[in-house]
Every structure is written in structure tokens, then in C-alpha cells.
């Protein structure tokens, strides 16, 4: 029997239910740290936490806005999964095949979705309930800043999930009856770089250590040590699960870690500046000339690289596949709803040597065929599918006259051997969003410039003090 509510609703109920008990557990030895729940509204007003709430609302809207750009601009930027695959091969397939187990899959799937959402919500709530407004500020900045940093990577450096590109690898997380609609609605399945499931907790751990260094104590003496350990314990679980479940590549971790460092430094140093805005005014947010120059240079260089190199660049090579399939594999690509009156134009090209089966189908017809990480290419589902021989292409249109008209492009390799390779290009009416995509990427480069400029200034100041 199918659970009556979806993954998101289930996780949100669980998150809200666990928040207070876990905070109480982590502070069991220091009851004076606990803010009574009845005093929470007064604490929000007294400590100015209204902007924390506003940032989470804005981030929800901003993420929806960015997601609307992702698939629309994809024909202009293409993808780079083939380059990542060329670097690391099929290591993640070995991880999945070596450890695959039904119970482990269920546990890691729950952890992947629940703990990630929980950390985003719980981190600032924990500090608020512990009467620590400084760390509450930094926890909110951690979530906001790292997502802003990730925007140009998500939009302009598309990397498909491993289960889409490695033949024989099951999409244990995505191709499941309960999860299917949720993930295909909120996840483009090509935002591999960077992995924020690793970036967000790692950044928070770095922020914690920068904070205690300023306090002049060790992390073991910090009053939030148990929460720090809770975050740290989840990192290795994520490192394993994102490989095992058919989601991330090993390479995805590198930019995730780099952005975590940038995010942590920026959040740690920006927090006191933001707290002083009511006294010092908005002009206090403008850095000195040296840092401002670094910000401007980084933003300009980043935007130029995207505009000149990436747009209509190497990722759009029509000979490179966007998905690869082994015998019996069934992969999907999502046709999003961008217009209620303009059709979506789909082109499917067989760029490999094996015959592949293609089916464009309404998402409601797929759910009952998705289970245990695979989509069953049975007669009821595959009715209406057509074959593409090596070198053949097909182009068609799909109408989406209502918000419930989501469709999938299903591709299957029903042969006995070989690897099927397919390139799918989906053109939406709003492909002009390429320009707002560029604009939305500028803050990421600006933050990177701010951190580099600030670190350079700090090192020069230290050298000046040593010379005197």
C-alpha cells in the first residue's frame, strides 16, 4: 500500500517533530542553554530573527526561480558529464554493486532526503533555541551563501547523475514509485556539480572552527560541541550514500568542498558586519577599495567566461551523449512545464552504436512501473515506443496545457550487449532566460572575489605587522 502523502510532506512532518527533542538531547547537560518554546516569539523579536525567516522565504522563491532557468537554457550550454566520466570511469558502479542491499537502500534514501532538509532547518533553529544569535546568523548565511555560490555551476555546468550515464547503475533514489514525482519535479537530475549534500555540512563545520578560534578556545571546549559532532557524523554517511544511490560522482565533491571553504569564510566574516548595519548603516556593507576591486574583477571574469566560453561552447557538442545505457537499462529525462500554450520541442539522437527504444509519456503512466531503483520496460508501459538505429534522430512536440501535464522521455536499451548512447535536447519557449541566468551567476563570482580580496588584505596586514 502506497504511503498517503509524498516524500516532502513526510519529511517536513518528521523534521518538525524531531526539532525540539533533538535540541533538548544535545543540550541535556546544559539546561540553561534551552529557550522555552513559549518564549520563542519574544526571542525572535528581541534578537531580530525576522530576517532569518525572510531569508528562508526568499531562498525558497529564488531556488524556484533558478530551477525555471536550468532546463530552459540547457540547449545553449549543453552538458559536461562525458568529461567527468572520462576522468573517473565507473567507480561509483563498483560501490553500488559491492554494497547493494534493500534495507541499506531504504536507510540511505531516507537519510539523503531527511538529514539534508533537517540540517538546513535545524542548524539555525538549534542556535536560536540555545540563545546564540551569532551562530544562528552564521547558520542562515551558510545555507543562503552556499546556494548562491552554486548557481553558475548548476546553470552552466550540467553534470548528469551517475545512474543516467553509467551503464548498469540503478537510480536507487530516483526510480522509485514513492520518490519519482518528487525528485523529477524539484531536481533537474543534472545538478551534480557541486554536491551541496557535502558542501553544506562541511561549510558549517568550518564555520564552527573559525568561530571557536575567535573565542580563543578549542572545539572540544565549545558549548555546542555535541551539535558539531552530530553534523560531523553525517558527513561520511553522505560521502558514501551519494555514490551508492546513483547520484553524485566523486568529482562532484571537489567543487562542493571548495565552495564550502569560500562560504564558511564569507559567512564568518560577514556576520558581524550585518549585525552592525542598524548602527553603521547600509554603507558599511561596501568593502574597502582593494576588496571592491577584487569583487568587480572576479564578477567580470566569471561572467565573461560563461558568456564567451560556456554558452554555445564545448558542452553543446551534438556527438556527445547525455545518457548511456547498458542492456535492460531504462533511463528518463524530464519534460518540464514552462508554458501552457507553447509546445515543447524534443529531439532524441542515437549517437551510439546500439539500437535504443524511445517513449515520450505522461508521468502519471510511469509511476506504477517504477520500483526498486528501476523502471520496468513492460508491454503496458512500452506500448507506443519506437526504435532509433545508430545515427538516427527523432524530433517531436509535447503540449503542456496545464500544470499537471508533466512528461518523461524514457529511453531503453533492450539489446543483449553493448552500450546505448543517446543525446536528448529539449527546447522550451523561454530559452532567452540565458541572460537572466548570467545575471544570477554574478553574485557567486562576486562573493568569491570578496573572499579572495579579504584574505589577501589580511595576509598583507599580517606581513606588515611582522615586518614592524
Over residues 203-211, the mean pLDDT reads 97
Query: Residue 1's pLDDT is what?
Result: 40
Q: Which residues pair with 407 in a beta bridge?
A: 335, 362
Query: Residue 430's pLDDT is what?
Result: 81
Portion of the chain with pLDDT greater than 90, in percent? 71
In order of 102, 164, 225, 377, the CA distances from 245 in angstroms are 11, 12, 30, 21
- Is the per-residue pLDDT at 58 higher than 80? yes
Top-level class of domain 323-430: mainly beta
- Is the per-residue pLDDT at 2 higher than 70? no
Portion of the chain with pLDDT greater than 70, in percent? 96
Higher pLDDT, 301 or 457: 301
Query: Beta strands 370-371 and 374-375: pairing type?
Result: antiparallel
User: What average pLDDT is seen over the chain?
Assistant: 90
Lowest-confidence range among 178-182, 209-213, 248-252, 375-379?
A: 178-182
Q: How far apart, in whole angstroms, are the C-alpha atoms of residue 464 and residue 162?
A: 49
Over residues 226-230, the mean pLDDT reads 95
- Is the per-residue pLDDT at 182 higher than 80? no
User: Per residue in 340-358, pLDDT tens?
Assistant: 899 999 999 999 999 999 9
Domain ranges of the chain: 7-288, 323-430
Over residues 455-459, the mean pLDDT reads 72
Residues with Cβ within 8 Å of residue 66, at least 6 apart in sequence: 151, 154, 155, 440
Over residues 164-173, the mean pLDDT reads 92
User: What is the four-CA torsion angle of 401, 65, 188, 407, rounded to 10 degrees?
Assistant: 0
Reported as a pLDDT band with limits 50, 70 and 90, residue 92 is very high
- Is the per-residue pLDDT at 46 higher than 70? yes
- Is the per-residue pLDDT at 86 higher than 80? yes
- Is the per-residue pLDDT at 467 higher than 90? no
User: Per residue in 112-129, pLDDT tens?
Assistant: 888 888 999 999 999 999
Amino acid at each position: 500500500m502506497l504511503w498517503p502523502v509524498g516524500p516532502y510532506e513526510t519529511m517536513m512532518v518528521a523534521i518538525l517533530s524531531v526539532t525540539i527533542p533533538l535540541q533538548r538531547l544535545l543540550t541535556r547537560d546544559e539546561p540553561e542553554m534551552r529557550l522555552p518554546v513559549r518564549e520563542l516569539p519574544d526571542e525572535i523579536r528581541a534578537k531580530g530573527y525576522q530576517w532569518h525567516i525572510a531569508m528562508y522565504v526568499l531562498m525558497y522563491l529564488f531556488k524556484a526561480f533558478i530551477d525555471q532557468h536550468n532546463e530552459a537554457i540547457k540547449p545553449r550550454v549543453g552538458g559536461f558529464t562525458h568529461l567527468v566520466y572520462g576522468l573517473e570511469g565507473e567507480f561509483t558502479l563498483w560501490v553500488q554493486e559491492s554494497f547493494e542491499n534493500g534495507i541499506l537502500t531504504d536507510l540511505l534514501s531516507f537519510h539523503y532526503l531527511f538529514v539534508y532538509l533537517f540540517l538546513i532547518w535545524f542548524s539555525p533553529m538549534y542556535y536560536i533555541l540555545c540563545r546564540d544569535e551569532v551562530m544562528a546568523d552564521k547558520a542562515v548565511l551558510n545555507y543562503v551563501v552556499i546556494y548562491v555560490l552554486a548557481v553558475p555551476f548548476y546553470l552552466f555546468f550540467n553534470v548528469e547523475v551517475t545512474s543516467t550515464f553509467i551503464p548498469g547503475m540503478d537510480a536507487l533514489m530516483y526510480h522509485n514509485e514513492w520518490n519519482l514525482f518528487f525528485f523529477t519535479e524539484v531536481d533537474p537530475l543534472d545538478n551534480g556539480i557541486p554536491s551541496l549534500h557535502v558542501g553544506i555540512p562541511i561549510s558549517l563545520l568550518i564555520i564552527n572552527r573559525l568561530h571557536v578560534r575567535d573565542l580563543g578556545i578549542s572545539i572540544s571546549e565549545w558549548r555546542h560541541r555535541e551539535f558539531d559532532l552530530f553534523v560531523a557524523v553525517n558527513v561520511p554517511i553522505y560521502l558514501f550514500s551519494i555514490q551508492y544511490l546513483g547520484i553524485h560522482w566523486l568529482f562532484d565533491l571537489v567543487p562542493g568542498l571548495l565552495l564550502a571553504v569560500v562560504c564558511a569564510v564569507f559567512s564568518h566574516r560577514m556576520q558581524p558586519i550585518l549585525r552592525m548595519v542598524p548602527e553603521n548603516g547600509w554603507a558599511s556593507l561596501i568593502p574597502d577599495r582593494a576588496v571592491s576591486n577584487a569583487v568587480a574583477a572576479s564578477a567580470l571574469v566569471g561572467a565573461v567566461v560563461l558568456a564567451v566560453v560556456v554558452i554555445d561552447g564545448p558542452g553543446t557538442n551534438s556527438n556527445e551523449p547525455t545518457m548511456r545505457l547498458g542492456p535492460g537499462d531504462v533511463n528518463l529525462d524530464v519534460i518540464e512545464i514552462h508554458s501552457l500554450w507553447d509546445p515543447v520541442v524534443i529531439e532524441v539522437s542515437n549517437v551510439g552504436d546500439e539500437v535504443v527504444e524511445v517513449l515520450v509519456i505522461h508521468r502519471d503512466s510511469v509511476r506504477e512501473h517504477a520500483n526498486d531503483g528501476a523502471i520496468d520496460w513492460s508491454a503496458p508501459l512500452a506500448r507506443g515506443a519506437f526504435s532509433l538505429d545508430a545515427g538516427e534522430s527523432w524530433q517531436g512536440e509535447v503540449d503542456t496545457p496545464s500544470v499537471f501535464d508533466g512528461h518523461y522521455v524514457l529511453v531503453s536499451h533492450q539489446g543483449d550487449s553493448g552500450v546505448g548512447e543517446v543525446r536528448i535536447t529539449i527546447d522550451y519557449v523561454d530559452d532567452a532566460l540565458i541572460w537572466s541566468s548570467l545575471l544570477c551567476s554574478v553574485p557567486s563570482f562576486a562573493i568569491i572575489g570578496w573572499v579572495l580580496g579579504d584574505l589577501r588584505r589580511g595576509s598583507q596586514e599580517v606581513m606588515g605587522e611582522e615586518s614592524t
